[in-house]
Structure 1
Amino acid sequence: MSSVLRLLTILSLSLVSGLASPGPNPSGCPTLSATDHQARQSLMHYVCFYRAAPGDPAHQADGPQALPTDLQWRHAAGHDLVFSHTKSVYWISLTVQNPGKHQGLWYLKLNYPLLDDVTFWQTGADSDRRLVTGDQRPFASRAIDYRYFLLPVTLDGGESQTITLRVQSSGALNIPLTLETPDEVIAQSNHLSLTHGLFYGALLVFAIFNLLLFISSGTASYFFNAFYMASMGMFMFAMGGFANQYFWPDNAPVANAAIPLSLVLCALSMTLFGRDFLEIERRTTSARVVQVMAWVCVGFLALTLALPYSTTILLNTVLGLAVIASLFMIAVARWRQGYQPAMWYILAWLVMLVGGLIYALAAFGYLADFLVREALMQIAVGGQVVLLNYALVQRWRLLNEKLLSVEHSARTELEFKVHERTAQLRNTMRELEKANRQLAALSLNDALTGLYNRRHMDNILPELCAEARRTGQPLTLALIDADHFKAVNDTWGHGFGDTFLQLIAEILTRHVKRPRDVAIRFGGEEFALLLPGTDAEGARQVCTAILEEVGGTALTSPDGTAARITLSAGLASLAPGEDRASLFERADEALYRAKTEGRNRLRLARPVPVNTP
């Protein structure tokens, strides 16, 4: 805050001089002693204001000297000046006196950055000064480089000044005024800098962390969570006046548009995150509601660029609260359906709903003390971010438990079947030999496609690697994966998905012609080709032909439409001295690159790194 301290000193006497003559001094408003700390704490007991509606002569007045002398000023009576959306102009008057013998410096602070037009007049015995500023003007129009409006008030010993403000804004009017010494301004600024630094720093760290988790895992929830935190951070940054100060100080329209834009982006990111995190089933009422909300957010995003700020900020605020409430109810429904991670999601949005509602009421002039509401909103956002990230952890834990449970059940079932089969095979030697032949066939072949299975691959790959090293002949491994196969199962059912797998197996068998070439299904939609005696170029030609034929073949889906699927492939040729694990890992890495680069393509593995001493 050293820059603020320097500016407080340098700019304290640098206001633009005006030609205004002394204006009216409202009766009923006592003079504030600037040296009295208790009086400064009760500033609103010394403030008078007047509301000039359109058509009122005071609405068009360009200074205190132009105001009618018979204005009916109202005493603030200690209350904050907070007004909802209005087209009126508000005049505020405060008389300040320095009863001491020495010159003093104070700062009149207007603690609300989102006011379109703010004009200050300082009228004293020997000076008349005017400052015209507001967030519709370049940031440099302010007396002090600060997100709030600061007016330096310099008073000689025994001097009095009348400070008059003219405030007009297209949105709500919050006019929280304080009169502070330079030390008080700097102390409060340092405190707020620490608070805001911790808040925005934590938000940035969480956003980057979730983005890195998305990059490493490919889980969309992490991306949408990072998107939401970035949007919410930008919204709070703009609402707090920081974006105007640091991002667009010379472009007032962009600074104002950033608030409704970031707000609608918050609503969109909330919707996308909720849809993915809550695992809402397709073709349900909740899924349709979320889809409609997402498209409404996109529509509001376009409207924000076309409609005026006063309209878009209201519409987007209502949209944001509606999205929060809708996601909250959907989460409650999912929790009642037995989806346990929804509990933490509900708590997160309950905190956000309460904090957002209070913050919106303060921003639109229905609640006083905007600074306290801003701090409350930051607490609500911080609590929500922690709860959402904890909910993601719980979701991951639940998925891991389900995976372990499925694995345990499958192992138990397999062991039971083995024991049962063993007991049956003990009856006669003939039955034992027959069962052994059947078991050998089942253990090496995939029942659905007829291809070899993973076990056969594990048995033969070490032998082929050893043979290739011994003879110097090439050996190429191709890993092939069906693109978006889950979407096929989700859309048309697993039965139709099995038909696609059989089609892929048939095409693989047709293209793998040589006697020693092996086609394998080693996972759900994962296939492999072992091509001994074939180099990378020959394998590439084979796989290219397979990818083209599969992509060009359509099946008639259960709903009568033509369905297609594509494949991605990764190739690796055995390098001198390389083992089978490294070969498989390089092929898998090439397949991963084919997937991440857009799918429906083939990628060759990178060469084996050369170890240098």
Structure 2
Amino acid sequence: MPYLRCLLVFATLMITGFSANETNGATGDCPVLDASNAAERDALMHYVCFVAAGPGDEAHSVADPSELPGNQQWTPANGHDLIFSQTDSVYWVQLKVSNLSDARQFWYLKLNYPLLDQIGFWISGNSADQQIMTGDQHPFASRGIDYRYYLFPVTLNAGENATVTLRIQSSGALNVPLSLSTPDVIIADSNHLTLAHGLFYGALAIFAIFNLLLYFSSGTIYYFHNAFYMASLAMFLFAMGGFANQYFWPNSTGFANTSIPLLIAVCTLAITLFGRSFLDISPDTFADRLLKAQAWLSGALALLAFVLPYSLSIIINAIVGLSSIASLFITGFIRWREGYMPAKWYVLAWSGMLAGTLIYTLAAFGYLTDFLAREIFMQVAVGTQVLLLNYAIVQRWRLLNQKLLDIEHDARIQLEQKVHERTSQLRSTMRELEQANRQLAAMSLNDSLTGLHNRRHMDNLLPELCAESRRTGQPLTLALLDADHFKSVNDRWGHDFGDTCLKHIAEILSRHVKRPRDVAIRFGGEEFALLLPGTEAAGALRLCQRILEDMQQSVVKTATDGPVTITMSAGTATLLQNEDDRELFRRADEALYRAKVGGRNQIIQAVEPD
């Protein structure tokens, strides 16, 4: 089949180390780019030169451009992108720039590839020499600018010349897509990509949560596997795009590399589990044994990602991932031919995904240019696949539903002695369905971690309580509480310990909020709310003081560092005449903000507006 031939070509490319895009050309001096000229900036790669210094070369061991040999020969890029397959070489990149305008100007040299271990940046010859050392093997803050790609400032006075030098070394493939842009262009491009990424990752999150809720409500395992797949795929693309290093582990320099093969293995495990459950593979068949072996192999590779060298682990995981996708595609095609109609949509979903994954992998390994374009193409392929997979799930549900209707129809025409048995089965099914609906309704109004009510319940209840308070004249107080420095707790001890702390907070709130109509709510992260009908400001203040004192006097035990005390800040607001629920919430939130700014571990009551 064509997909298997593509996979074979890809494996051959990686084994031989061939790169179709590695630049070759005659050596010579680099031309000077007029940075004030937009046309020349657009043709930046015609002004870039580079040196590929293998182990043993003098340029491989030096750490500063001033230490390079005086007769160093530079190879012009000749307009080509600089991409290199996995190599031990150090790459020096040079760009000579000048400002021929009559005013001082500022640009950013942008490197649009996030997965690079070591990057050194030097600019010399201008009024203020600069040096930046960054990359995945440095804390994210070393970049100087909070951005997933690398931005290096270039400032030139009128008529001034400068030489920009980059030293790049990485244990994986090297993509060096460079551009020289003004800040307004950088911001505009970033805004457009932010919108696209927000829509993409938001859609994946919604689909994953939706499938997870379907799993909890129905107990059907492939819903869980589909949610697992979409979450792991989103996390892998998040890491490949540099977002995970920016937001999740900015200071974990070692994990920046480990996370990529680890997440590939996790994605492979997820797609194998989903395919095996969705395609309804018969037990003890060859396909069943093959998919089980793939799942076990993926799990083992996920663990080995912490042990194997990155350069070896990434290749093994990529080959296993592509092989697993191909085998699932073939298995789905066979099930389709066997008459299992949901497999038709499964095969269509994987058709584009297999091509997208192959192209994205080739780009990531340095065999295709324009990694950013391949990333967008991969997102389109993933989005299309997710839609088709969920449509396939709908078709499977319709098939099962049709079977249920057929069973019901057959029951109607059975002999009279069968009627009582079928009716009893139907009643049992209805009871189970009613129980499942009650569970789903409870889940939609309660927080699964702490057992408290959630934000949806608060949004439903607060307007009703405000209307009742205005009608009866009884007071209503809203208290908002927030755990202090909770991000540092998660960063230091992990999210599992953070969840333990949230449960601890919920227990304390439940212990103090005891009146029948008082409601304790977790409405987001470490944020909690108390709805206190019939309670004036003074009563709410006393209640919050008891809660804060209890929090300060209790501890949560960690696995290694002993007990930890969690403190909270609180803001309260009592409903005013002619005030609605939004204004009440706003005033309580402002009071909470003042409590946090004023030193935390305290309670601030909202002031009445003038």
Question: TM-score w.r.t. structure 2 length?
Answer: 0.65
Q: What is the CA–CA distance in structure 2 between the aligned matches of 1:443 and 1:224, rounded to whole Å?
A: 38
Give the structure 2 partner of residue 143 of structure 1. Answer: 144
Give the structure 2 partner of residue 252 of structure 1. Answer: 253
Q: What is the CA–CA distance in structure 1 between the aligned matches of 2:205 and 2:262, rounded to whole Å?
A: 19
| SS in structure 2 at match of 1:115 | coil
After TM superposition, give the deviation of residue 359 of structure 1 in Å. 0.3
1:89 aligns with 2:87: no
After TM superposition, give the deviation of residue 71 of structure 1 in Å. 2.1
Q: What is the CA–CA distance in structure 2 between the aligned matches of 1:127 and 1:140, rounded to whole Å?
A: 22
Q: What is the CA–CA distance in structure 2 between the aligned matches of 1:586 and 1:101, rounded to whole Å?
A: 76
Query: Aligned runs of 1:461-476 on 2, under 5 Å?
Result: none
Give the structure 1 partner of residue 242 of structure 2. Answer: 241
Q: What is the CA–CA distance in structure 1 between the aligned matches of 2:294 and 2:436, rounded to whole Å?
A: 42
Query: Aligned runs of 1:68-79 on 2, under 5 Å?
Result: 68-79=69-80
Asked if 1 retains the 8 angstrom alpha-carbon contact of 2:218 and 2:436, the reply is: no
String of CA shifts for 1:14-52, please: whole Å, max 9, x gaps.
xxxxxxxxxxxx843211011111111100000001110
Q: What is the CA–CA distance in structure 2 between the aligned matches of 1:263 and 1:384, rounded to whole Å?
A: 17
Give the structure 1 partner of residue 159 of structure 2. Answer: 158
Q: What is the CA–CA distance in structure 1 between the aligned matches of 2:382 and 2:419, rounded to whole Å?
A: 55
Give the structure 2 partner of residue 358 of structure 1. Answer: 359
Give the structure 2 partner of residue 67 of structure 1. Answer: 68
After TM superposition, give the deviation of residue 583 of structure 1 in Å. 13
Larger Rg: 1
Q: What is the CA–CA distance in structure 1 between the aligned matches of 2:51 and 2:32, rounded to whole Å?
A: 18
Q: What is the CA–CA distance in structure 1 between the aligned matches of 2:151 and 2:157, rounded to whole Å?
A: 19
Q: What is the CA–CA distance in structure 1 between the aligned matches of 2:294 and 2:406, rounded to whole Å?
A: 36
| SS in structure 2 at match of 1:263 | helix
Q: What is the CA–CA distance in structure 2 between the aligned matches of 1:331 and 1:236, rounded to whole Å?
A: 25
String of CA shifts for 1:468-489, please: whole Å, max 9, x gaps.
xxxxxxxxxxxxxxxxxxxxxx
Q: What is the CA–CA distance in structure 2 between the aligned matches of 1:586 and 1:185, rounded to whole Å?
A: 54
After TM superposition, give the deviation of residue 589 of structure 1 in Å. 8.6
Instruction: Return the letter of the residue paired with 1:370.
Output: F
Q: In 2 relative to 1, CA 333–132 (structure 1 residues): closer, same or farther, beyond 3 Å?
A: same
Q: What is the CA–CA distance in structure 1 between the aligned matches of 2:49 and 2:437, rounded to whole Å?
A: 75
| SS in structure 1 at match of 2:131 | strand
String of CA shifts for 1:374-398, please: whole Å, max 9, x gaps.
0001111111100100000011111
| SS in structure 2 at match of 1:107 | strand
Q: What is the CA–CA distance in structure 2 between the aligned matches of 1:133 and 1:584, rounded to whole Å?
A: 57
String of CA shifts for 1:83-124, please: whole Å, max 9, x gaps.
000000011100010111211000000000100000011011
Q: What is the CA–CA distance in structure 1 between the aligned matches of 2:355 and 2:145, rounded to whole Å?
A: 35
Asked if 1 retains the 8 angstrom alpha-carbon contact of 2:28 and 2:75, the reply is: no
> How many aligned residue pairs are there?
415
Instruction: Return the letter of the residue paired with 1:108.
Output: L
After TM superposition, give the deviation of residue 302 of structure 1 in Å. 1.6
Give the structure 2 partner of residue 575 of structure 1. Answer: none
Q: In 2 relative to 1, CA 385–583 (structure 1 residues): closer, same or farther, beyond 3 Å?
A: closer
Q: In 2 relative to 1, CA 239–125 (structure 1 residues): closer, same or farther, beyond 3 Å?
A: closer
| SS in structure 2 at match of 1:102 | coil
Q: In 2 relative to 1, CA 130–290 (structure 1 residues): closer, same or farther, beyond 3 Å?
A: same
Query: Aligned runs of 1:435-584 on 2, under 5 Å?
Result: 522-523=424-425
Q: In 2 relative to 1, CA 406–57 (structure 1 residues): closer, same or farther, beyond 3 Å?
A: same
Give the structure 2 partner of residue 329 of structure 1. Answer: 330
| SS in structure 2 at match of 1:136 | coil
After TM superposition, give the deviation of residue 158 of structure 1 in Å. 0.5
Instruction: Return the letter of the residue paired with 2:100.
Output: P
Give the structure 1 partner of residue 321 of structure 2. Answer: 320
Instruction: Return the letter of the residue paired with 1:41.
Output: D
Give the structure 2 partner of residue 12 of structure 1. Answer: none
String of CA shifts for 1:228-270, please: whole Å, max 9, x gaps.
0000010000000001111111111123222222111110010
Asked if 1 retains the 8 angstrom alpha-carbon contact of 2:148 and 2:241, the reply is: yes
After TM superposition, give the deviation of residue 407 of structure 1 in Å. 2.6
Q: In 2 relative to 1, CA 63–351 (structure 1 residues): closer, same or farther, beyond 3 Å?
A: same
Q: In 2 relative to 1, CA 119–583 (structure 1 residues): closer, same or farther, beyond 3 Å?
A: closer
Q: In 2 relative to 1, CA 586–105 (structure 1 residues): closer, same or farther, beyond 3 Å?
A: closer
Instruction: Return the letter of the residue paired with 2:337.
Output: R
Give the structure 1 partner of residue 81 of structure 2. Answer: 80
1:303 aligns with 2:316: no
Q: In 2 relative to 1, CA 279–81 (structure 1 residues): closer, same or farther, beyond 3 Å?
A: same
Q: In 2 relative to 1, CA 128–443 (structure 1 residues): closer, same or farther, beyond 3 Å?
A: closer
Q: What is the CA–CA distance in structure 2 between the aligned matches of 1:196 and 1:588, rounded to whole Å?
A: 34
Give the structure 1 partner of residue 397 of structure 2. Answer: 396
Q: What is the CA–CA distance in structure 1 between the aligned matches of 2:372 and 2:408, rounded to whole Å?
A: 54
Give the structure 2 partner of residue 263 of structure 1. Answer: 264
1:134 aligns with 2:135: yes
Please provide the CA RMSD for this pair: 2.6
Asked if 1 retains the 8 angstrom alpha-carbon contact of 2:263 and 2:302, the reply is: no
After TM superposition, give the deviation of residue 587 of structure 1 in Å. 13
| SS in structure 2 at match of 1:296 | helix
Question: TM-score w.r.t. structure 1 length?
Answer: 0.65
After TM superposition, give the deviation of residue 53 of structure 1 in Å. 0.6
State which drifts further: 266-275 or 395-404. Answer: 395-404
After TM superposition, give the deviation of residue 358 of structure 1 in Å. 0.3
| SS in structure 1 at match of 2:151 | strand
| Structure 1 alignment gaps of length 5 or more | 1-25, 419-438, 445-452, 456-521, 528-580, 594-609
| SS in structure 2 at match of 1:118 | strand
Q: What is the CA–CA distance in structure 2 between the aligned matches of 1:584 and 1:166, rounded to whole Å?
A: 63
Q: What is the CA–CA distance in structure 1 between the aligned matches of 2:83 and 2:318, rounded to whole Å?
A: 19
| SS in structure 2 at match of 1:150 | strand
Give the structure 1 partner of residue 406 of structure 2. Answer: 405
Instruction: Return the letter of the residue paired with 1:242.
Output: F
Q: Share of identical aligned residues, percent?
A: 57
Instruction: Return the letter of the residue paired with 1:330.
Output: T
| SS in structure 2 at match of 1:147 | coil
Query: Aligned runs of 1:332-347 on 2, under 5 Å?
Result: 332-347=333-348
Q: What is the CA–CA distance in structure 2 between the aligned matches of 1:141 and 1:443, rounded to whole Å?
A: 75
| SS in structure 1 at match of 2:164 | strand
